[in-house]
Structures are given as C-alpha cells and as structure tokens.
Chains A and B, each alone.
Chain A
Amino acid sequence: MSDKSHRSLLLRVEDLQLEGRSDETWTPIVKGVSFDLHKGEVLGLIGESGAGKSTVGLAAMGFTRDGVRISGGSVLFDGTDLVTASADTKRQLLGKRIAYVAQSAAASFNPAHKIIDQHTEAPVRHGVSGRKESEEDAMELYARLRLPNPEEIGFRYPHQVSGGQLQRAMTAMAMSCRPDLIIFDEPTTALDVTTQIEVLAAIRKIVEDFDTAAIYITHDLAVVAQMADRIKVLLRGEEVEEAETRRMLSDPQEEYTRSLWAVRSFKRPAKPAPALDAVPVISVQGVTAAYGKMDILHGVSFDIHAGRTVAVVGESGSGKSTTARCITGLLPPRLGQIEFEGTPLPGSFRGRSKDQLRQIQMIYQMADTALNPRKTIGQIIGRPVEFYGGLRGRARRARVEELLAQIELEPSQYIDRLPSELSGGQKQRIGIARALAAEPRFIICDEVTSALDQLVAEGILKLLADLQDELGLSYMFITHDLATVRSIADEVVVMKDGEVVEQGSKDDMFTPPHHPYTDLLLSSVPEMDPDWLSELLKERGLENIGDAASDRM
C-alpha cells in the first residue's frame, strides 16, 4: 500500500444519485456520492446495512438492479460517462475492463456450466484471447490463487467445489481479461474466519501482482484495513468521510466514524471462578447426538454455572447449534444426558414439565423469524407471562410493560406495534423480553448479534450483561465472532467437527499456549491494524493459514 494518487485517473464518480422504487414511487437511496480512483489503487467502501454501498459499487459499473435507477451525477470511466453511454458501449467495457466479484460465489456461478467454461466466456466473447489460451491462463491464475489441483479444478461444476475455493475461482474469472478495475462486493462475508483469511490473502496478492484498481465493499472495518489504500465511509446513502487508510484508522474526523471505531472497546470485568463444589445450572454430560444415522456430536461435556456466561465458539458445522438443540430438547441425545441444577432432564422437550421448560429459554439469531409477524409486541411478550405465570388482564399488561422497560423500550409506545414496525435491534430486544417473561434461570443466545450492525450489536451485548447482573441469569452464548467472546464471556468452549477441542476461562483461552485449532481460530480474526495480514503471512507462511491448516488437524 503506497500513495497512488499521483498516477493517472481511472474512474471519477461525481455527485452520484440513485433512487429505489417502493410502492410505485421513487425514493432517493444514494444522495450524492463522489470519489476518484487512480490506476492500481484500492478504495474501501464501508458502511452499515442500508448505507447503499453495493448500489454505489454496481453504479460504478454503469449497472443498476431492477427497481433502482440513476437519477443524477456521472460515472466517468477512462473518459466514458457510463450513466449516459449506450448499452453497447457499456457491454464493451464490462467483463473486459471492469469486472465484478460477487458476495456469494456459490450463487453467482451458473450451476449448468463448468467453472472453466464460465471463466473463458468473457475473454472469448470480448475477443481478448482464444479459448485454448484462456484455459491455460485460467490454470495459471488458479495456481497463483493457491487453489488445489489448478489443472483440474476448473473442469468441475460449481456445486462440486467448496465456498472458499469458489470465491477464489470467481476472483480468477474477474481477472480473465486483465481488467483495469474490479469491484469486490463483500467477497468474504459469507465465509468462516479461517477460510476468509486465505481468500483475503489471495485477493490482495493478485490485485497487487497485476496492478489492478479495485473498489472493495464491506461492512467489516478490520477487513477493509487490510485491503484498501483509501477508505470511504457511507451512512444511509450519504458520504461521511474519506481518507487514506492509516489516517482514517488513527484519526477519524467525524463523530459517526469514531463511534464505529469505538465499538470493539466494550469489555466487562471477568467474574471470579465458581466454587469447586457449586452445582452447575446446566451440565452437559457426554452428549452424543445424531441426525438420522450420522453422529453430529461426539461426547460433548461442559458445565454452565449460575450467573456466568459460557461462550461456545466454532465455525459453521462445528455442532454448536446442535448442542443447543440437545439442551432445549428438540434433538434428544443418543448417548449422555443434560442435567439442570443436578437433576437430569428428559431427553425430549415433550417429556419435560412446564417448569423445566420455563427454566430454559432461547434467543434466536434472526429476530425476523423468531417473532410472529401477525402478533403485536404485547401479545408476543404477554403469552409466556400468561402461560407460565397465569397472569391475565391488567396484571398481565403491567408485567409486559415492566419487561419492556427492562429492555429499554418505552412501553406505551411499543406495546401495540407489530414486529415489522421495529428495527432489527429492537426486534432482538423483544426476543430478549420474551425469554425474560418466562423468568428462567438459563438462556441460550444463538448468534444473537451476528445479523446486526456493530453499534446495535454492542447495545444488545450491554443489555444482556446488565440483565445478567440484575437477575443472576446464566447464558450459553453461541457465536463465531471472537470479538463478541472477548467482550462478554466468562468461560469459553471451542468446538470443531462436533467435539469440544478446548475449554476454560476466558483469560486462559486468550493467552497462549492454546490448542492448535484455537490458535488458528484466534490468529485468523482480522485486526484493525493495516499491517496485520502482512505480518501474519510473514510470521506463519501461506501454508499455515486457512482451510489447509484446519484440515490438517
């Protein structure tokens, strides 16, 4: 990363305005965004959901999705205004000089054709190179991107290749015509952390190798810090600020940017270890569980003590959510048992008493699917109050209001609303209130913050921490995000392929020596330091990161 602003100008976006259609009327969604991009320069475009970053990224290619239109401004690419250019002119540029890498490679490769056929399509169509040359070039690019079996992998169909590899194949496809500009639209958001780091390294290397300019769109600050020369921050379709990466990280000017930077600072003090003879609230004992005939969990054991938070971490498919399903009784374990305060629970939730059901509550990842869209907030929270507490009429309403106050929402304002009238963070709070309404001892929080923007997520974490102190609750906190673990957990359980790899108090977990997998997981989480990736690669080498390292364990 060096200053490239002296080099010749490639793309100039000026006062770009976009509108989106909702209910037959057009409303502005991007209200005047401008930036310059020079040859070989990487611009990071960041913002929370609804900031319009993807829309801007596509508009920089002169492209809009259905229901979106460019209402003003210009996009000058190498002298051509893409806003007013004819469809033919744009087609000449797209794929050849401007390329695109989408968020989900699995969905963006055509399932009906082999990867290599899709790779060679653009160069052959645009007359850049012949089919044979292009195929050879593809294999070379695959090798450069460290894909396994570069000679052979292209002849597979997309569904036969893993997500992280497909994402790299898509980057290779974008490179097939050696474009001047590539738009990366959240290319690693859907990937696990250990896979993400590999893809990040590959993308950065190839962009540098071919001196390609890029717009890198993401919501993850630590990721953009590794990739971009300059960063531009967007908020609800408006620009907040733009600066060179290091300066942006060390000295943000705007209030909003500073608040984004500050998010990761929330940390609660560690609690003293529980007494040795204390009876745990929940004790998972040697649980083996299966879907059909395949064992998914293998002898999982851990304890959760009163008033403490146990974070269960692991990547997708590690069995964290399955463990939660065993505890709630949705999936009766094949072997082993779950104890609640020393007494074993029946395996299936159908066999449990009303009071046993009441003691274990759950908060879900997607607040949208966790709240019945046809019921008002009052009904959603009121039902468990009535069901378990037997309160009716005025007493029930009073209790609902009390709960709403507890989750910091004004009761009179929210009690009659429908979930669709709330924001994501507010919905998640309603989910918390519904769990609290049962007056449980123990709550399972399943990725409760991963669908939320960082500022909102922080609010939820704080609320959960306060409620724990106030009510003496125990939490099982399922997450893949180690920053969340760092801020809220007392103890950590690391899972991989249905087994507990390591467990212990948070301080032990975050100080070496670790189990090699924990070590890999910890080291893969991007940090806000722009040199982090370079140093990590220098320290460990390309062989010891990502899926390759994970598979070796």
Chain B
Amino acid sequence: MGSVTRIVVQRLLLGILTLLVVSIVIFTAVNLLPGDFAQAVLGQGATEEAIRSIRRDLGLDQNIVLRYLDWLGGVVRGDLGVSFAQMNFQSNMGGGEMKTVAAQIAPRFGNTMFLAGVTAMIAVPLSITLGVLAALYRNSAFDKGANLFTLSSISSPEFFLAYVLILFLAVIYPVLPSLSNIYEGMGFGERLEKTLLPALTLTLVVTAHMMRMTRAAIIQLLSSPYIEMARLKGISPMRVIVRHALPNALAPIINVIALNLAYLITGVVVVEVVFVYPGIGQLFVDAVKIRDIPVVQAACLIFAGAYILLNLTADIMSILSNPRLRHPK
C-alpha cells in the first residue's frame, strides 16, 4: 500500500505545481499587454483616480515578481480584484458599492456547475451503456449506425447542434424554451426545464466521444487472452464483460469520463452564448470582448483549475484501479 500512497501524493503535488505554473503563465500573458493599457480601456473620460486604481490593480508600477505574488496572494484569499466595467461605471457615474470579480463570478459559477452537472448526469450513464452495447454487438448494424452518428456529432460545431436542437425542439415543436433566462430563487423544476436544451446540446457532443472511447477500450480488452480464457471456461457473455472485462476497463473508462467532463468546460462557453445562459462562460466571452482583464484572468484561472482537477482525479483513480499497483510483489 505504501507505494500507492507515495504515487498518489506525488500526483497531488504535481497537480498543485501545475496549477501554480499555469497561474504564472496566465499572469505573464496578461502582462504582455502594453503599459498604457488602462488609459486605452477606460477611454478619454476616465478620472485620474480610476486610472490610478487600474494601474495599481495591474500593479504596473511594481516589480513583476512582487506583482505576481501579490496577485497570487489575493487569489488564494478569494480576492480576484474588481472588473474594469465596474470601475468604469463607478468612475463615470460615481458612488455606489463596487461588485468584486469574485462576487460577479460566484452565482454564475453555480449556474455553470448546474449545467455541467445535468449534462454529466445524462451523458455519463447513457454513453457508457451505449459504448458497452456497441462493444457487445460490434460490427453489427447497430454498431455501424452508432459509429456514423457519433462521428457526425463529434465533428459538428457546438453551435450547429445547438441551433438544430433549437430549430426542432423550440421553434417547430415548441416543447422547451430556446433561451435560458435563469435567475436566483427559481424553482428546481423550472430551472431544470430551462437548462435542458443547452444540456442536451452538450450531451450530444460529449456522449458521442465518450461512447466511442468506451467501445474502443472494451474491444481492446475483449481480444486479450484472459477474456478468451474466461470464455473458454464456459462463462456467460454478461459475466465475462462484468466480471472479467469491466474491472480492467475501469482505468480507461474513468479517463474517458474525466477527459469529457474536462471537455465540457470548453464546450460550455459556446453553448452558454447560444442559449444566453448566465454562466461563467458567457461572462468570460463578454469580458474578452470588452477586454476586461481582471474578469478574463479570473475566469481563465477557474477553467484551468477545474480542468487540472478533473485530470488529476482521473489520474489518481486509474492508479487506484490498477491491481498491480494495489498489490505490489
């Protein structure tokens, strides 16, 4: 057991290190901006105070290492700064409480997690069932049809699938709303109904990919000698899959799921824009368009963090599912 613990701790440390380096990359990228950027963003009418506050926020008058440490310290405490848009608003209109980036992101983060969660609840069981079926009936009409369908839906851009779904499920046969105007304090049922169409779009993309990879992982196993041995012992096909193939397919399947949940993070951006879903992706794109650096930086860090976390989880779980590591010689 000692070696497994060691490997897991190693991976955890590596994950933290990666996150740290990624934060440096994001920070450095933002610092590639020209020096008088604040002026450019706020325009001619900006007050001296606002410009100074932005310069301070970007810390343009400090040493870059100090600035990074300062920023990182803020991130760790949950302080992601104040968005330019808010600052601009305040400097032009004056007064009022400024909303911090953290306060802006928090509710939207919840919404995005809800969307990703609903998608995962549909997509993961569906794709694994379909993948196992395709592997079981490989080279049959079902398998070929599924291959055609999944390949097509992987290849299509998210917004194409989204508009096709809107066309059929919202416009021609209006069963679901085409816009996801979600607000706080909404009932779960209504919220689910409004989330369903974006979730279905994401499901289409992710299911196809997961199903193909599950199928491939199982088929690769099915040709291994120990599966042949199990069949030659007269074990029923279902038991062969469940008892002999599945324990060994866990690692690849876990990887497939994690990879696709991670993919959801990217896919969510486009889909949120199409459905005007008030999630973090929508906020991110809006911020990109108006070059609202603190928001872009924060959202980027959150996306990267989630991505790294998912990959780390997959990594650790597939290590734990490997009998060779669990029971060393």
Contact = CB atoms under 8 A, between A and B. Distances in A.
Contact of A93 (B230, B234, B239, B248): B234
A9 to B, nearest CB: 22
Contacts of B224: 107
A110 B324 contact: no
Contacts of A63: 231-232
Interface centre among B235, B236, B239, B248, by most A CB within 10 Å? B235
B233 A111 contact: no
Given A94-B234, A95-B233, A159-B329, A112 B223 contact: no
Interface in B220-248: 223-226, 228-236, 239, 244, 247-248
Contacts, number: 74
Contact of B324 (A93, A96, A111, A121): A111
Contact of B248 (A111, A126, A156): A111
A108 B329 contact: no
A66 interface: yes
Interface in A136-168: 156-157, 159-160
Interface string A78-108: 0000000000001111111001101010011
Contact of B329 (A99, A104, A160): A160
B329 A110 contact: no
Contact of B232 (A66, A95, A107, A125): A95
Contacts of A96: 234
Contact of A95 (B225, B226, B235, B248): B235
B interface majority secondary structure = helix
Nearest to A106: B225
Given A160-B327, A160-B329, A107 B225 contact: yes
Contact of B230 (A92, A110, A111): A110
A100 B223 CA distance: 17
Contact of A110 (B232, B236, B239, B244): B244
Interface in A283-310: none
B4 to A, nearest CB: 14
- Among B226, B228, B230, B323: residue with most chain A CB under 10 A: B226
Contacts of A110: 226, 229-230, 244, 247-248
A552 interface: no
Contact of B234 (A65, A66, A91, A112): A91
A94 B232 contact: yes
B323 A65 contact: no
A100 B226 contact: no
A109 interface: yes
A91 B232 CA distance: 8
Contacts of B226: 107-111
Contacts of B233: 94-95, 99-100, 121-122, 125
Contacts of B329: 159-160
A122 B244 CA distance: 13
A61 interface: yes
Interface in B262-288: none
The size class of the interface chain A forms with chain B is 20 to 34
Contact of A108 (B229, B239, B248): B229
B291 to A, nearest CB: 51
Interface in A389-419: none
A121 B235 contact: yes
Contacts of A104: 225
Contact of A65 (B228, B235, B248, B327): B228
Given A100-B229, A111-B226, A112-B248, A95 B324 contact: no
A65 B229 CA distance: 12
A104 B224 CA distance: 11
Nearest to A123: B233
Given A66-B223, A104-B225, A160-B329, A111 B232 contact: no
Nearest to B248: A112
B216 to A, nearest CB: 15
A91 B323 contact: no
B236 A91 contact: yes
Contacts of A61: 232
Given A65-B228, A108-B226, A108-B229, A122 B323 contact: no
Interface in A104-132: 104, 107-113, 121-122, 125-126
Contacts of B234: 90-96, 122, 125-126
Nearest to B138: A66
Given A111-B323, A122-B234, A102 B247 contact: no
Contacts of A66: 223
B235 A108 contact: no
A125 B225 contact: no
Contacts of A93: 234
A323 B34 CA distance: 61
A93 B234 CA distance: 7
Interface of A: 61, 63, 65-66, 90-96, 99-100, 102, 104, 107-113, 121-122, 125-126, 156-157, 159-160
7 contacts: A95-B234, A109-B226, A110-B230, A112-B247, A112-B248, A121-B230, A122-B233
Interface of B: 223-226, 228-236, 239, 244, 247-248, 323-324, 327, 329
